Amino acid sequence: MKLRNILLFAAVLLFASCSTKKVVQQSQYPKREFRGAWIQAVNGQFSGMDEVQMKRYLTEMLDNLEKVNVNAILFQVRVEGDALYPSDIEPWSRFLTGVQGRSPGWDPLAFMVNECHKRNMELHAWINPYRARTKGTKFVAPEHQSVRNPGNFVEFEGQLYFNPALQSNRDHICRVVTDIITRYDVDGLHIDDYFYPYPVKGKEFNDDRQYPKQGYGSKGEWRRENVNHLIYQLHRTVRELKPWVKFGVSPFGIYRNQASDPAGSKTKGLQCYDDLYADVLFWINEGWVDYCIPQVYWEIGHSAADYEELVEWWAKYASKRPLYIGQDVQRTVKAKDVTSATGNQQEAKYRMQRAQRNIQGSCFWDAASAANNVSGYRDYLATGLYRYPALMPQYGFMDNVAPKKPAGADVIEDAGKKVLVWILDEKAASNVMNAPHRYVIYRFGKGEKLNTADPSRIVEITAQRYYELPADLEGEYTFMVTVLDRMQNESEGVKCKVKL
């Protein structure tokens, strides 16, 4: 498409048939919903792949997820104090080449940022903050922090961890985050459920040397405070670098059992607060995280951790920040539900989730299972729940100022094709937060209500300032174009009538 010519033509149009209109928000489908998927490296799915093979693998996965309107990818870029991108701070990950420190010859993070943005998906860089060596790691590169600063680590059950008690470790983790955010156009920084290691009966994480024994009611209280310091510092680091980048966390699905706290959930499992020393609700209430995705991976009716109980619990207690539910694809499709159209619990789980006003989306574990359509999981989304596109939930505490609407729009002909074009007031954005970032194009038939709250009317979300009309489109239509900023605040629309 001759974009330069299109924009020149658009700039001289009088837009006689075009005007702006504010529309009422209402729809039977959620127009805003987080639809994420975790793409992990830790389980070795990239093993043996060269650059061409891995790019093909990731591209096919993204293509399949795009078909069901997934709008966010959480891509693991730091597994064990390493990097899935070129770094002067930490060595290349062994999960790319099989050997830590060996370069794969390309940049997976840059590739994923570009591929996700081409598909109008957000890319959240997912790091594991504390883990420094997994059980399968046989060789550690000389530039790894555990070699350079061995006194900063604690070994536990065959794995190595950055000691959460040390400020030098917190500073190092924030240097890593600074490097990622300043060098890459990521939309989010994401951490998972690994804080202090998952407990092993009869084994103790050896941090006695740092424990002050005074000023704290217990070692657990002190450990939680150590993690709190990191979360606060990470959030501050992200916000100061790029105020539009979201900082999110995906904690273990049980915060506390009712046996430990009357306000806890009616569950009988491991607890974020008591066992991993992650006080997630404190971070949410203090505003130190921008979204939360608890990993509610269990089945409906699970004896120790019932999905319905936990969804309702998180919706009640974690509503001060956007809340999404982590979904285990494999466990969901294996769980029977005779009342469901799918025969498994997928339909029922989403119904329960969407019934909660304070829950605004989901995230798949893992992306490959959903993309590969395990037991028809993707098909069900395509024909029902995710049938139409969705914008991101709003983050009004970060920015709630909508960008300026387009100055006008019209349909022109270019090389025998009809193209919808629009122009902007180049001085309209007051700052980087509400500068134009994407555009939403809606289409309405003759006589239809111009309701941009209805996502079924979205025909395109694009970074381009034009939209090529389908060649087989006939009749009278009204198109509406709105502007999205980086936070997906949406402008009022400009409309344009056309007869084809």
| pLDDT single digits (tens) 172-189 | 999 999 999 999 999 999
Q: In the predicted model, is pLDDT for residue 9 greater than 80?
A: no
Q: In the predicted model, is pLDDT for residue 24 greater than 90?
A: no
Q: Annotate 16-36 with DSSP letters as a single string.
A: TTEEEE------SS-SB-EEE
More confident residue, 13 or 462: 462
How many CB atoms are closer than 10 A to CB 337?
18
Per-residue pLDDT, averaged over 460-473, amounts to: 95
Q: Is 332 within 8 Å of 300 (Cβ atoms)?
A: no
CB-facing half-sphere around the CA of 491: CA atoms within 13 A: 28
- Cβ within 8 Å of residue 74, ≥6 positions away: 36, 37, 38, 39, 124, 126, 188, 190, 250, 363
More confident residue, 14 or 65: 65
Distance between CA atoms of residues 233 and 228, nearest Å: 9
Calculate Rg over the CA atoms of the chain: 24
- Cβ within 8 Å of residue 396, ≥6 positions away: none
More confident residue, 414 or 341: 414
How much of the chain exceeds pLDDT 70, in percent? Answer: 94
Helix (H, G, I), strand (E, B) or coil at 207: coil
Structure tokens at 279: 């006080």
Per-residue pLDDT, averaged over 120-126, amounts to: 98
Closest alpha carbon to 387 in 49, 68, 170, 30? 68
Cis peptide upstream of residue 179 (ω within 30 degrees of 0): no
Structure tokens at 34: 């987080």
Per-residue pLDDT, averaged over 453-469, amounts to: 96
CB-facing half-sphere around the CA of 201: CA atoms within 13 A: 1
pLDDT at 425: 81
Residues 77-93 pLDDT 10s: 999 999 999 999 999 99
Structure tokens at 169: 């470790």
pLDDT averaged over every residue in the chain: 92
Which region among 127-131, 239-243, 264-268, 423-427 has the lowest average model confidence (pLDDT)? 423-427
Closest alpha carbon to 181 in 117, 124, 248? 124
Q: Is 168 within 8 Å of 149 (Cβ atoms)?
A: yes
Partner residues linked to 20 by β-bridges: 494
Per-residue pLDDT, averaged over 464-489, amounts to: 95
CA 498 to chain centre: 37
pLDDT at 23: 36
Amino acid present at 43: N
- Cβ within 8 Å of residue 164, ≥6 positions away: 130, 195, 196, 207, 223, 226, 227, 230, 277
CA 8 to chain centre: 37
pLDDT at 22: 38
pLDDT at 28: 55
Per-residue pLDDT, averaged over 457-480, amounts to: 95
- Cβ within 8 Å of residue 490, ≥6 positions away: 391, 402, 403, 440, 482, 483, 484
Per-residue pLDDT, averaged over 254-283, amounts to: 98
H/E element holding 193?
none
Per-residue pLDDT, averaged over 381-386, amounts to: 92
Residues 100-110 pLDDT 10s: 999 999 999 99
How much of the chain exceeds pLDDT 90, in percent? Answer: 88
φ, ψ of residue 18 in degrees (nearest 5): -115, 140
Strands annotated E in 53-167 = 72-78, 122-127, 131-133, 153-156, 159-162
pLDDT at 10: 45
Distance between CA atoms of residues 163 and 170, nearest Å: 9
Structure tokens at 348: 């029922």
For the full predicted model, state whether its pTM sits above 0.75. yes
Cis peptide upstream of residue 399 (ω within 30 degrees of 0): no
Q: In the predicted model, is pLDDT for residue 479 greater than 80?
A: yes
How many CB atoms are closer than 10 A to CB 16?
8
Per-residue pLDDT, averaged over 205-220, amounts to: 93
Q: In the predicted model, is pLDDT for residue 152 greater than 90?
A: yes
